Structure 1
Amino acid sequence: MTSGFLAAIDAKPSPLAEFERIATEAGHDMSELEAGHIATAFVRVGDIHSLRCWMSHAAETARAKRRHSFTQFGGRARLWQGVHDRGEAYIFAGEPLDARDVERMGEHFPARLKIVSARRIELAAGGVLDVSATAEDWDVGTREELYTLFNVGTLTIGPDARVIVKGNVFSMVVQHLDVRESRMQEVGPANHHIGILPTPHPVDSRLSGPLDGPCGSAGGDGQPGRDGSSMQVRATVFGPRLIGPSKSIDYDGQDGARGFAGQSGRRGRTGGMCKTAEITVRSLAASSSPLKVFCQAGHGGRGGQGGKGGDGGRGGNAGRQDAGHNENLFGKAGNGGPGGDGGQGGNGGNGGISSNVFVSCPPDQVHLIAVTSLESLGGPAGQGGAAGSGGMPGHGTPTSAVTAFGLDGQPGTPGLDGRGRPKARMHINEILKP
């Protein structure tokens, strides 16, 4: 970042037009841009004051009107996200910075800024242009704040075509815009021309892995009960004779062991977040259709299903108490073991958070801008795991003591649904839209 660029934006008019000035400072080759190429630069920005010059292209009077929009984030002010909010309030609304916040932001500077410039872009019908900066671009973790500036001379958006950005702090400056007539109805997730979309990954700091919570593991089955011992005899000239003393033999089968409980399902992760965006349109074609801007943070992950409880162990068989003279003389068979309880279902993840989206255009063309934002959705709760079945009793005879099947375990309880989060605040020329 050079001092000349700072002066051009904040102090005196540049001899270059806005598009050329931004492209030149980004190091883009003007001859390549004039030939129709799209140029991309990855810039490290040393401090938040320089970052403000890259990212916000509104007049100071407009920034001042935005300040109230950054005072309504409630509990976020106490979190690390609150530091980001206050930094973005300085960048896009000129809100004074607290020295403690500047110090805490220090670890994120030099900031990572992707700058995309194009003299002319014509998006074909149904085309999607994704200008997002990604963690892979910078070889950093997915929680690092990334910034994107999209600098366009003339942008033509064909029917049902879109420009999207995912989870970046975003600035878009278009000198001339023409939106071709399309079949779109109301602005929504599938119906928009500019999409301020969430990070394509969850944002939890304490969990890793997929968005949806994995299911809990099934509990192990209970061990079967030991069979009762039977009389052992040997043949002699005097007939069968007992081997060993009969009083030391345990003829009863043992009860089966309880099945192990299933593990709980993991909770779903928090949905991706949408960051602050500033979209600046210097002029729209007189024949342009309305520009439709949409924003919605990511939905929370589904809670994992609890694991099935293990089945109870089979009861041990009864041992024979007689050497063959009485075929019905047996010990007691073992009872079946109780089944294990099912695991608890995981809670659904919360929806992602959103920030402010500012759209600026000529006052007499406000009717050509339509904006919509939706609340993010919480993830559904995971179901509880199935109960383990009680074990079978051991085998005896009709005259043996009555034995019982093991009791089934209890099914796991479901988790709780995740919470949705408030929608982004959408503004056109500093007026908040419902």
Structure 2
Amino acid sequence: MIAALDRLLPNQAAIEYVQLQNLREARKFFGPLSDAERNWRSQHSFGPLIASPRAKLGIGEHDRGEAYMFGGHGYPFGDQASLDRHFPLNVKVVTASELVIGDEQVCDFSATREEFPWEVPIADELYLKMVVNRLTFGTNSSLTVKGNVFVLNCENLTGSHPSSPHSLNIKLLDNGQPVARRRFEALIPIEQRHGKNGAPGVDAGPPHYENTPFGPKVVVDIHRPAPSPGGDGEDGKNGRNGDNGGMLYLADLRFKSINCETGSVTVSAKAGTGFPGGAGGQGGQGGAGGNGTQGLQSNGQIVGATPGGRGGCGGDGGVGGRGGNGGMASHVYLSIPQEYSNRFIFNLQASAGGRGGVGGVGGMGGQGGSPASTQTMIGSDGKNGSSGEHGKPRAAPRAIIFENSSQT
């Protein structure tokens, strides 16, 4: 275990930054948990998770690692290569003999990459461990944690208003960042998704007069170009698919004793909403047809007249990007004295999918060249792109409650 130097907050909570080198060290560091509670968690939570279809996804590796760290499962030797990629773990440790969260006050100790005294890769998970001897809360007090695996060891939870209602809101959220790391790359501006306009057609070569002994004569070059049609507009590019919402990481809340006769604790938890899909690019405009020529007068006739070229077709609009799926959620674990279980309220929400991107508008067809004729036509307009599908919601986390039979 590698630790950075401590610093003190004004409320006398000491902060320490730690790196854990392997899974066995992490299991010991985030304890203590009794064998009875570990086995109970494995039976009611980790076992079903590991047996579910999500075990085949990347989050299955998290589940198996957490089943060893926070449950009663054995060491996941089959995931060793993945474990090696995840370590060392970066942990922010907050220690306080007494932490007071006053009326209407919001306390947020969430760990962020920037605050660690060493460089933390952008894809690394961050851990927050709080060790509080006495946590006192008032009316509508809040403890918020965003984007961290969160462990709270609290010896005593106390309401500051013994004779009137008081409430603590523990809010567990994602960090607003997507699971897919593509969003950390520069996004393509919408202007670069628009289709290019079609090139205009080439005008017809006009006839001309030549002087002859018998007077001016209209000469039409047999090699002169006819008016060409306008180029078709390019189709707009499809919108970028939205990234999946941020993950809600495991929370492990342990209260050894509770002293709040009239108060309540609300635990809210929700993974991140999927990010919206990008808009489809607009179709390019069709190019205008080349102009013909009116011809020239000769002996009472018009010689060399040609109608204008056809306008190019407009490009189709790009399809809107699919909205990202809602973020996946780990469970919330709660260890409390049995007689106070009715004081806890849970607001556990499914994560919503992101909205699909709007389809791009089709480009307008190009105008026919002049002079117009029955053969000269405006190019057809491009079709509007369809909007992208909305992302799928993901299931809400579960609350796994272990009730101690007596206070110690």
TM-score class, shorter: 0.7 to 0.9
Distance in 1 between the 2:188 and 2:137 partners?
39
Instruction: Give the whole-Å Cα distance in 2 for the aligned partners of 1:318 and 1:272.
Output: 60
The range that moved more, 108-117 or 211-220, is: 211-220
Tell me the residue number matched to 2:396.
Answer: 423
TM-score by length of 2: 0.87
Aligned residue type for 1:313: G
Query: Is 1:194 aligned to 2:174, yes or no?
Result: no
Deviates more, 1:77-86 or 1:217-226: 77-86
Tell me the matched-pair count: 393
What is the CA distance between 1:242 and its match in structure 2?
4.8
Residue 179 and residue 314 in structure 1: after superposition, are their counterparts in 2 closer, same or farther (change >3 A)? farther
Give matches, 1:87-166, under 5 Å: 87-136=65-114, 137=116, 138-166=118-146
Equivalent of 2:231 in 254, 257, 261: 257
- 2:388 is matched by which residue type in structure 1? G
Cα deviations by residue, 1:195-214 (Å, 9 ceiling, x for unpaired): 12113311115x23489996
Q: Cα–Cα, structure 1 residues 418 and 237, in superposed 2: closer, same or farther, change >3 Å?
A: same
Are the structure 2 counterparts of residues 211 and 321 from structure 1 closer, same or farther at C-alpha, using a change threshold of 3 Å? closer
The separation in 2 between residues aligned to 1:27 and 1:140, in whole angstroms, is 17
Q: Give the distance between the partners of 2:400 and 2:65, measured in 1 at CA.
A: 19
Residue number in structure 2 paired with 1:413: 386
Q: How has the CA–CA distance of structure 1 residues 55 and 288 changed in structure 2, closer, same or farther, with 3 Å as cutoff?
A: farther
Distance 1:308-1:110 versus aligned 2 partners, 3 A rule: closer
Change (3 A) 1:179 1:342: farther
Higher strand share: 2
Residues 77-86 or 379-388, more deviating: 77-86
Identity rate, percent:
34
Superposition pairs of residues 228-239 of structure 1, within 5 angstroms: 228-233=204-209, 239=215
The 1:414–1:214 alpha-carbon spacing in structure 2 relative to 1, beyond 3 Å, is farther
Q: Which AA in structure 1 matches 2:132?
A: V
- Separation in 2, partners of 1:209, 1:262: 24
C-alpha separation between the residues in 1 aligned to 2:55 and 2:17?
A: 30
CA contact (8 A) 2:263 2:343 kept: yes
Q: Which amino acid aligns with 1:130?
A: D
Aligned partners of 2:151, 2:99: CA distance in 1, in Å? Answer: 17
1:380 aligns with 2:355: yes
SS at match of 2:278: coil
1:48: Cα distance to partner? Answer: 1.8
Gaps of 5+ in 1: 3-24, 186-190
Counterparts of 2:187 and 2:242 in 1: how far apart (Å)? Answer: 5
For each residue in 1:230-263, what CA deviation from the matched residue of structure 2 results, as whole angstroms up to 9, or x when unmatched? 12336689653556x533334x422111000001
TM-score by length of 1: 0.82
Distance 1:402 1:101, change over 3 A: closer
2:150 to 154, 159, 170: 170
Q: Partner amino acid for 1:198?
A: D
- In 1, the alpha carbon distance for the partners of 2:268 and 2:187 equals 25
